Amino acid sequence: MPAWKTAVRGFATAFVLLTIGYLLLVGQFSGAEVGLALAGGVFAALWAVALNHVADVRFSFEWKAFAVFATAIAGVPRAAARVTWTLCRAGRHRPRGSIIEQKFDHGRDRRAADATRRAAVLLAISLAPDRFALLHEGDRLVIHRIGRAPQGGDERWPA
């Protein structure tokens, strides 16, 4: 595929995702917010395309990564309820978190697909209020969790 087509595809994908993401998170719908979403989408997409050309680590759009991230966003209310329940049950005693290790296929090469998968997994794990990725090294993830946050996925997509 020619370089200009790749750049246009990257710009279009970033523009659509960032503009829709802004509109979903803004909390209100008005002409000013739509204009800001469009302008912000253009600038952010241009920035993403420029970074993609100079960055050492490149990312590629992958539907599985998008699905993992969307599932993590959808799970935030349930995770927040689990943390709230854990904190309410603890009363005056501060609940202690736990550190768990989970297998994670890091990927050995510097391909864009592996970088995208690693970034999506780490973001999805750390997005929820009941767990946070502390370290990923080799073929393991070290995760801090509060309460009984479920371990999910497999070695390739552990989020």
pLDDT per position as a tens digit, 42-95: 888 888 777 777 776 677 777 888 888 888 888 888 888 888 888 887 777 777
Q: What percent of the chain has pLDDT over 90?
A: 0
Which single residue is written with the structure tokens 């000013």?
32
pTM assigned to the model: 0.62
Distance CA 120, CA 108 (A): 17
Distance CA 142, CA 131 (A): 10
Which single residue is written with the structure tokens 């854990």?
86
Phi-psi region of 107 (alpha: psi -120 to 50; beta: other; left: phi over 0): left
φ, ψ for residue 122 (rounded to 5)? -65, -40
